[in-house]
Amino acid sequence: MVKKVVLIVVALALLVVAGSFAYVTWFNKADKPLSQTDVNNRLDGTTTAGSAAPGATTTPGSSPATTGAHPASVDGTWKIGAGSEVGYRVSETVNGFDTVANGRTTKIDGSVTIAGASAQKAAFTVDMTSFASDQSRRDSQFNGRIMQVDQFPTATFTLTSPIDFGAIPAAGTTIDVKGSGDLMLHGVTRPVTFPLSATFKNGRIGILGKIPVTFADYGIVNPSFATITTQDHGELEFVLILDHA
């Protein structure tokens, strides 16, 4: 009898391990991190955002600029356009197997005000209720106990000091800078400083950035659940495509 019980326990353990391996290897389909390639492709109009967010839509009324078109001046207001996308990435372990959880949204609003070679103002709002991943159960956890989107439906970022690009970038070139501002997430606002890459191409501006987030700093519960263990931090990644207003 004892031997039979041991065999059953071992068999169940093997099934759990096999299931975890299958989930990490075949079923969990995390997107690659957003990169400069994504920025370039979206500025060229060859790809759009939303690959990880089924049913997501781009900003109404916005569309890629005609190739080769350039505004008379970069001065003025630049608004969020088609191709913009914000996502989260969190490393997790499922019964000893490492993987990544991520979700994205294209529901972003906001603008940047530029004067000369400096971004003077910037403010963005993200619809937290619209994030989607490849796993409905993950989305349910994200919307519920983790981010509580019914109580905190939006996240915002506001630039608190100008970003000096040094010079107006030539078409097709990328400039690396740092941005500083206030990030409001889960109802908590904290100052953040993070690296940015800005590209001017085809009459549009593309911005790539990643902001590290420690969950406890924003009153966010650790996403760990059942046999899934996550780190105590993750990152917000984003590609912002801006059109001259």
Domain parsing of the chain, residue ranges: 30-244
Band (pLDDT 50/70/90 cuts) for residue 61 is very low
Which of the 8 DSSP states describes residue 219? T
Across 93-97, 103-107, 189-193, least confident range: 93-97
Domain 30-244 carries which CATH code?
2.40.128.110
Give CA–CA dist 159/112, Å, rounded: 9
> Strand (E) positions, 68-117?
76-80, 85-94, 97-105, 108-115
Amino acid at 23: Y
Q: Provide the 3-class DSSP secondary structure of residue 230.
A: strand
* Residue 29 pLDDT class (50, 70, 90 cuts): low
Q: Give the pLDDT confidence score for residue 168 in this predicted structure.
A: 78
Mean residue pLDDT across the chain: 82
* Residue 67 confidence (pLDDT): 41
Residue 105: count other Cβ atoms within 10 Å of its Cβ. Answer: 23
The partner residues of 132 in beta bridges, in order of sequence, read 104
Which of 21-35, 72-86, 111-125 is least confident? Answer: 21-35
Distance from C-alpha of 180 to C-alpha of 163, rounded to nearest angstrom: 8
Spatial contact of 211 and 181, defined as CB atoms under 8 Å apart: no
Radius of gyration for the alpha carbons in the chain, expressed in angstroms and rounded: 21
Sign of the CA dihedral running 208, 213, 219, 224: positive
Averaged pLDDT, 80-94: 92
Task: Inform me whether the pLDDT recorded for 64 exceeds 80.
Answer: no
pTM of the model: 0.80
Query: For residue range 152-185, what is the model confidence (pLDDT) as tens digits?
Result: 999 999 999 999 988 877 888 899 999 999 999 9
Indicate the pLDDT class of residue 232, thresholds 50, 70 and 90: very high
Asked if 163 and 74 count as a contact pair (C-beta separation under 8 A), the reply is no
Copy the structure tokens of residue 57: 């839509």
Tell me which of 46 and 72 has the higher pLDDT: 46
User: Which tokens go with 137?
Assistant: 């159960």
pLDDT tens digits, residue range 103-161? 999 999 999 999 988 999 999 999 999 999 988 988 999 999 999 999 999 999 999 99
Residue 32 has pLDDT above 70, yes or no: yes
Please tell me the distance from the alpha carbon of residue 64 to that of residue 203, in angstroms, as a whole number.
Answer: 9
Q: What is the mean pLDDT of residues 194-203?
A: 94
Mean pLDDT is lowest, of 18-32, 51-65, 104-118, 207-221, for 51-65
Q: Give residue 172's pLDDT.
A: 87
